[in-house]
Structure 1
């Protein structure tokens, strides 16, 4: 498996950028050639070069019986930050069990743009989450003054992996951190698990905790871009969790966390609110952003994709509504994974398509960054101290001594490998519901269009870019990236 993956990824070379500056010269596809990469079910195609001799020609009026994708480079929207995944305790513990050769392969697979899919974002946790082998904090019990604060726990597995990821990426990464729960003694429930709330007398101590975390990680040479206030603040989970109503999060932000960050010289660190599902994000945005004293501290809003737990569909319209209502605030997808681990479904294609559907819709609705959950889990979907086992794009089967690449890894790669930080999203629309599509123009002028076919049939479609067109074929249940 390793040789196959490495050979495929080594074959992918960066398509030459164009000399024009997209800010100074209107984009023209006239006469340009198109490079196509494809991943498709029931084929050997995995981020593979898949078409030759494609080039643009003058366009004609599209017909109703044709399938088309329309790209208008003159209409541009949000600036892209990046794509990545979370380095959790679980990911780091599994990584430490890999062979040196597997570790190198794994780091290249995620963080090398040439050999892998070029991740540019990292999320990590402030002390433990469910994806830790046990609950822990950075302070002794009842230490309100935080005099015992220490990140020594993280120095064994998590910090070494983060440092290796930064090194493998060979560039500055955007790294942010999220807490799952304050220490038990700070909560009204006196437990890190099963919800509960931060007790009012510990608001300031908890705000100080974030500052301590940032200082400790940066002392280790790990730059922290920002923090989220609370992971999933409306979920009472069996694992580490803590409830904040919209008003409580607003008040904690404006009275404690924001001023404390500012007082400690961290006014340039970003604070991300909500960090939960799309279902309630509009109410949370309305409450926090409508208060100027709270809003001034909020860079933007994070969100997850688990609102489908009740059998409904993803609430993409809520993302658009927040983007349209508060255009000065950013939107970041902060977590998603395939739940309910089952090793028989490592290659289950619908899991990958869930990523493609969510990523395309989130970007088209204004999202600037997209972060997957665990980058690596073992052959049991963990470790997880409450048995909440899940999928990751790559699994380390320690018992069998191999890395397992799921289709989700390749679907994510169709975005992360080619759309680079500072790219601008470009107006894109498909003429048939079987196809989903999004486009970005990289800072070097190169255009990137991602097309996904959700249907059981191969589809021939025309790609229209202003006054130019080309004809492309996409297999059934496939995703393509087109560079031009």
Structure 2
């Protein structure tokens, strides 16, 4: 049965130089003098959900999990890590790092993260050899900073809080680095064109450009974080070229943007993945970097744990994204429980590894491999 041979070694192949191949031969043509983008890494996100599930596993399963992801010899050697600025839907509830209404951020504290998330990030970093690029993304500003007065269901950042919100990123970086976790970079806003039932906030291309140019970029530089990478867009492939044109065509905004992040959920409308758009951005702006910042298999159902198509979706995306100029690829939750959560709005999804917190077991899915 060929299905059972998908991850089975069947032969040892050795590449050797050929003179003139025949049409009947299978050949691989390599030109070592032609190079493309520099590969940065592959990784995943440690969310609140991942960290809470991790904490409930037996110690030996925790170590097995860490080795599976971050050990280069015993596992797949993840070399990139993403996390969130306060809550996302994959948290047990909505929260921020300040008291509601604290425009000056005097109450800023990451104590919420010290229980589960920070210990897991530190454990992952240690397993990865003591160093791993960590970047962070916000899902929504605090409710009082938005026009809908709610962290959920979209809304926009109010102009009178542009500076406060820009300061919030630098407060986060400072707090995490004081805990011994260097921040490699930030994204401006997770999925800035999606009104979701969970934490979300809308930025048009022009609004993101102007916030980056007039507030976030200068604030990062002023606070000594000019070396941190700022990633724009952080949404699906469908509108990424339009977003790139608006932001990169403005020199005063573009100078702060290291590159563009993108997700794979443009297929929600029933179409095919728009890999060509990745290539168009790469061709038009070769001096900017491309990073896949999130993808997961939606609509969790335990009977589909071993559905091979879920793993193929990862492989197809990686191959096409890298072939179109992407330098790094980041999975979404690296660990979820046997219900596809926790998720405080019921948006249960798959992860490459699930932790059955009742049985204390790890469930490896095809996406992991």
> What TM-score comes out, normalization by structure 1 length?
0.75
- The 5 Å alignment of 1:280-359 reads 280-359=239-318
In structure 1, distance between residues paired with 2:217 and 2:348: 35
Helix, strand or coil at the partner of 1:372 = strand
Deviation at 1:42, TM superposition (A): 2.5
The CA RMSD over aligned residues, in Å, is 1.4
Deviation at 1:44, TM superposition (A): 5.8
Q: Which residue of structure 1 aligns with residue 124 of structure 2?
A: 165
Matched, 1:409 2:368: yes
Relative contact order higher in (CA < 8 Å, ≥ 6 apart): 1
Matched, 1:52 2:12: yes
In structure 2, distance between residues paired with 1:254 and 1:291: 9
CA-to-partner distance for each residue in 1:122-159, whole Å, 9 max, x for gaps?
00000000000000000001000000000000000000
Helix, strand or coil at the partner of 1:170 = coil
Q: Which residue of structure 1 aligns with residue 320 of structure 2?
A: 361
Residues 252 and 391 of structure 1: is their aligned pair in 2 closer, same or farther, counting only changes over 3 Å? same
Residues 233 and 70 of structure 1: is their aligned pair in 2 closer, same or farther, counting only changes over 3 Å? same
- The 5 Å alignment of 1:10-409 reads 42-43=3-4, 46=7, 49-52=9-12, 54-63=14-23, 67-409=26-368
In structure 2, distance between residues paired with 1:41 and 1:323: 38
Q: Which runs of 5+ in 1 are unaligned?
A: 1-39, 411-484
Helix, strand or coil at the partner of 1:123 = strand
Counterpart contact for 1:41–1:349, Cα < 8 Å: no
Helix, strand or coil at the partner of 2:200 = coil
The count of aligned residue pairs is 369
Q: Which runs of 5+ in 2 are unaligned?
A: none
Helix, strand or coil at the partner of 1:54 = coil
Helix, strand or coil at the partner of 1:208 = helix
Counterpart contact for 1:208–1:260, Cα < 8 Å: yes
Deviation at 1:41, TM superposition (A): 6.5
Residues 367 and 41 of structure 1: is their aligned pair in 2 closer, same or farther, counting only changes over 3 Å? farther
More helix by share: 2
CA-to-partner distance for each residue in 1:399-437, whole Å, 9 max, x for gaps?
232100011101xxxxxxxxxxxxxxxxxxxxxxxxxxx
Deviation at 1:72, TM superposition (A): 2.1
In structure 1, distance between residues paired with 2:287 and 2:38: 12
Larger radius of gyration: 1
In structure 2, distance between residues paired with 1:344 and 1:386: 22
Helix, strand or coil at the partner of 2:32 = strand
Counterpart contact for 2:61–2:360, Cα < 8 Å: no
In structure 1, distance between residues paired with 2:334 and 2:100: 31
Deviation at 1:57, TM superposition (A): 4.8
Deviation at 1:45, TM superposition (A): 5.7
